Structure 1
Amino acid sequence: MVDSSANSPRRMLSLSRERAFVSILDDEREGRFALSNKQGAKLLEVYGFVGSISTIVATGLFFLWAYLPEPWLHYLGITYYPSRYWALAIPTYVMVTILFIVLFYLGLNYMATVPSTSWNSLFDDHTRDASRILSARACTDEEHPIDPISDIPITEVNASLFG
C-alpha cells in the first residue's frame, strides 16, 4: 500500500493553527478522505521571514550610520564604524556593477545574433516547408482533414503585410 498525500485543492476551514492535508487514498467503505495533521512552519517560510526582518534591520542601521552626526553616534555608544565615504561608495559600486552586467549581457546577445541580412534569420534546422509536407502526404491515400504545422514562406508574409 502506497501512502501518498498531497495538499487538498479545497482547503478545509479550521480555527486551529494546524494545517490539514488530505490523503489521496480514501476509505472505500465510508467514501471519506483520511486527514493527517502537520504542525509548524515550513523551512523556506522561516528563512524568508528571517531574511526580510534582517534586511529591514540592516537597512535601518545603514541609514542611521550614514545620516546621523558623529556626536549622536558617540552618545549612543557607537564609537567604531567605517568611514562615511563607504556610505556613498558601496551603493555606487553596486549600481555601476549591475549596469555593467546588463550592458555586458546585451553585448553578448548582439554578438550571438545573426545579421538581419542573413538567411539563417529566416531558415534553420527546424524549418518545415508546407509544399514538401503536402507532396509527401499526397503519396499516401490517407485522409487528413487538418494540414500539418508548417512555416509560412517569407514571400507570403511580405505579400500579406506590404501588399
Structure 2
Amino acid sequence: MVIVDDILEDNSDLIPPYASPNPSPARGVYGFALFIVSWCSFALYLIWALLPTPYLKLLHLTYLPAKYWAIAIPLLLPITVAAFIILVLAHNLIQLHGIFDDVE
C-alpha cells in the first residue's frame, strides 16, 4: 500500500513550496525591529523638540538643528499632499478644456 505522503516526499522537487498568506518569521522580526526603532526615534524627536535648549547644551548636544525645524519638517507632509491634490485637479481641468467642443 502506497501512502500519499510518501509520494509527496518523493516528488518534493516538483511541488512548489506552500504559499502562506501569513508573513514569514523573518518579516515578523524585521517588522518588530522597525516598530521599536520608529518609537525610539519618535521619543528622541519629542525630547529634542520639547526639551529647552539649555538642557540640551548641558547634555553636550549642541550639534542639533534649530527648534524651528521641529515645526517646519512635520508641516511639509500636509503641505506637500495639499499641493499635489491641487496640482492634479488643475491638470485635470486643463486637460478637460475642449472635450465638449463636439457636443451640440
**TM-score, normalized by the shorter chain, greater than 0.5:** yes
Larger C-alpha radius of gyration, 1 or 2? 1
**Relative to total residues, which structure has the larger helix share, 1 or 2?**
2
Does residue 99 of the first structure (1) align with residue 82 of the second (2)?
A: yes
C-alpha change, 1:8 and 1:90, in structure 2 (3 Å) is: closer
Taking structure 2 as the reference length, the TM-score comes to: 0.60
C-alpha change, 1:106 and 1:77, in structure 2 (3 Å) is: same
| Cα distance, 1:52 vs structure 2 | 2.4
Which residue in the other structure is 2:17 paired with?
Answer: 5
Which residue in the other structure is 1:41 paired with?
Answer: 25
Which residue in the other structure is 2:36 paired with?
Answer: 53
Let me know the Cα RMSD of the aligned residues: 3.1
**Relative to total residues, which structure has the larger strand share, 1 or 2?**
1
Q: 1:110 aligns with which of 78, 93, 98?
A: 93
**Match of 2:71, as an amino acid?**
L
- Long gaps (5+) in structure 1: 10-39, 121-163
- Long gaps (5+) in structure 2: 1-10
C-alpha change, 1:8 and 1:92, in structure 2 (3 Å) is: closer
Q: 2: CA distance between counterparts of 1:90 and 1:96?
A: 10
| Cα distance, 1:116 vs structure 2 | 7.8
Secondary structure in structure 2 of the residue aligned to 1:51: helix
Secondary structure in structure 2 of the residue aligned to 1:6: coil
**Match of 1:92, as an amino acid?**
L
Q: Percent same amino acid at aligned positions?
A: 30
Deviations 1:99-124 (A, max 9, x none): 1112112222333447784668xxxx
Which residue in the other structure is 2:56 paired with?
Answer: 73
**Match of 1:6, as an amino acid?**
Y
Q: 2: CA distance between counterparts of 1:99 and 1:8?
A: 39
Secondary structure in structure 2 of the residue aligned to 1:110: helix
Secondary structure in structure 1 of the residue aligned to 2:25: coil
Does residue 87 of the first structure (1) align with residue 70 of the second (2)?
A: yes
Deviations 1:27-79 (A, max 9, x none): xxxxxxxxxxxxx713x434433332222222111111111112322344423
Taking structure 1 as the reference length, the TM-score comes to: 0.42
Aligned length: 89
| Cα distance, 1:8 vs structure 2 | 6.9
Which residue in the other structure is 1:124 paired with?
Answer: none
